[in-house]
Amino acid sequence: MKTRITRDHRARLETLRRAYGEDLPRRVRAIEEAAAAVSGAVPRGEALEVAYHLVHRLSGSSAIYGFEAVHRTARELESRLVSAMESGVLGGAWEAELALHLEGLRQALTASSEPGTERSE
């Protein structure tokens, strides 16, 4: 049995996708704040876990809504956070790498907000 998506369903999906896209900057800011807490007063393990969960959710939801660049970048960051949680190694080099991943996420966000990008069918 083949399922077809009606125009009405497509319109609803596009409305949801647009709303999700409008919320992406807030999600990225929350990840940046959580990442900043890794170097702050919050215990590192706890801060890493918060950052991981935010990134994990972003990775999955951005794929669902077709924001591929955001998904790929979040997936890479998620992998790096898992490695850091497992190894416990968080030196200056790790923080520099984290900063690069966050910059990549910001760039993916910018690219996804440009008209005609990040469409998936």
Q: What is the pLDDT of residues 23-39, one digit of tens each?
A: 999 999 999 999 888 87
Q: At what angle do helices 7-38 and 44-64 cross, to 10 degrees?
A: 160
Burial of 49 (C-beta count, 10 Å sphere; 0-12/13-18/19+):
middle
- Give the pLDDT score at 43: 65
- Give the pLDDT score at 119: 47
pTM exceeds 0.95 for this model = no
Out of 1.20.120.160, 1.10.600.10, 3.20.20.450, 3.20.20.190, select the CATH number for domain 7-112: 1.20.120.160
Q: What is the pLDDT of residues 88-98, one digit of tens each?
A: 777 778 788 88
Q: Measured between alpha carbons, how far apart are the two ends of the chain, in Å?
A: 20
**Over its length of 121 residues, how does the chain's per-residue pLDDT go in tens digits?**
567 889 999 999 999 999 999 999 999 999 999 988 887 766 678 888 999 999 999 999 999 999 999 999 999 999 989 988 888 777 778 788 888 999 999 999 888 876 445 444 3
| DSSP states along the chain | ------HHHHHHHHHHHHHHHHHHHHHHHHHHHHHHHHTSSS-HHHHHHHHHHHHHHHHHHHHHTT-HHHHHHHHHHHHHHHHHHHH----HHHHHHHHHHHHHHHHHHHHHTSTT-S---
